[in-house]
Structure 1
Amino acid sequence: MTKALKSINPDMHFRALHLLEKEPGLTQRELAQKLGISLGGVNYCLKALIDIGHIKVGTFSKNPNKSVYLYLLTPKGIAEKAKLTAGFLKRKMMEYQALKKEIESIQSMAKDS
């Protein structure tokens, strides 16, 4: 595992791969907005994903503006996204169960007062 990958939050890693798979033509600015992080954070994340081989960068061949990039998931990136999806769902279900338990506890205390 590379140093860059260790510092990418697994949820961010999953969400970035998920968004890029759906919309490979997103700009870094659009991706930053959708992920809720800074443009610099997206740039760091994309560089790390390229370095570890989860995405590759291409250009729209017919677009006269060659600065428009496509961020394409590699086969390795697709496999990693599948693994990250399972972990993401597990973490979110655990968060949901803990939140549900906390809400039930607060509702019970509110009824008793």
Structure 2
Amino acid sequence: MTSKRSKLQEDTHFRVLRLLEDNPEMSQRDLAEAVGVSVGGMHYVLSALIEKGLVKLGNFTAAEDKRRYAYKLTLKGIAEKAAMTRQFLKRKMAEHDALKAEIDSLTAELQETQLAKTRDGLKGE
């Protein structure tokens, strides 16, 4: 079974890949803010994605500061993002189904409680 920390890491990598696919010029600060991690954490995430060969660095030509980089998904990164999308969607659908079942159960329980109170109230009259 995948640990909670591993799922969180997968979700973070997935969200970063999604953001970078559409916005390769995003800064680490912007990515960190969008994903909800620290800038240092984002540096770690980007380094891991680069090391895995999912993202490559390129110069961001439109920037005045030529030290800025663009983070581009590699072909491997695009394929991995597609696989992560399937896994993410599968996990979220399972979570949705479990949550829906719990809501349905609680709703039925509440209705039974209210019905019992109504019956008890009628008996007392």
Q: Does TM, scored on the shorter chain, surpass 0.5? A: yes
Partner of 2:14: 14
Tell me, what secondary structure is at the counterpart of 2:57?
strand
**CA distance in 1: counterparts of 2:86 and 2:62, whole angstroms:** 37
100 and 82 in structure 1: CA distance in 2 versus 1, 3 angstrom threshold:
same
Structure 1 partner of 2:74:
74
- After TM superposition, the runs of 4+ consecutive aligned structure 1 residues lying more than 4 A away are none
SS in structure 2 opposite 1:71?
strand
Aligned residues: 108
Q: Write the distance in 1 (CA, Å) between the matches of 2:43 and 2:57.
A: 13
CA RMSD for the aligned pairs?
Answer: 1.7
Structure with larger Rg: 2
Trace 1:3-82 onto structure 2 (pairs within 5 A).
9-82=9-82
Q: What residue in structure 1 maps to residue 110 of structure 2?
A: 110
Q: Supply the AA of the counterpart residue of 2:75.
A: P
Change (3 A) 1:15 1:42: same
Deviation, 1:108, is: 0.9
**CA deviations over 1:24-69 (Å, ceiling 9, x no partner):** 1111111011111111111100000001100011112243311221
Unaligned runs of 5+ in 2: 1-5, 114-125
Cα distance in structure 1, aligned partners of 2:35 and 2:22: 14
- Cα distance in 2 for partners of 1:109, 1:76 equals 49
Output the CA distance in 2 between the equivalents of 1:40 and 1:101. Answer: 39
Q: Which runs of 5+ in 1 are unaligned?
A: 1-5
Q: Quick one: higher RCO (CA 8 Å, sep 6+), 1 or 2?
A: 1
Identity in percent: 48
- In the superposition, relative to structure 1, how do residues 46 and 96 fare at CA in structure 2: closer, same or farther (>3 Å)? same
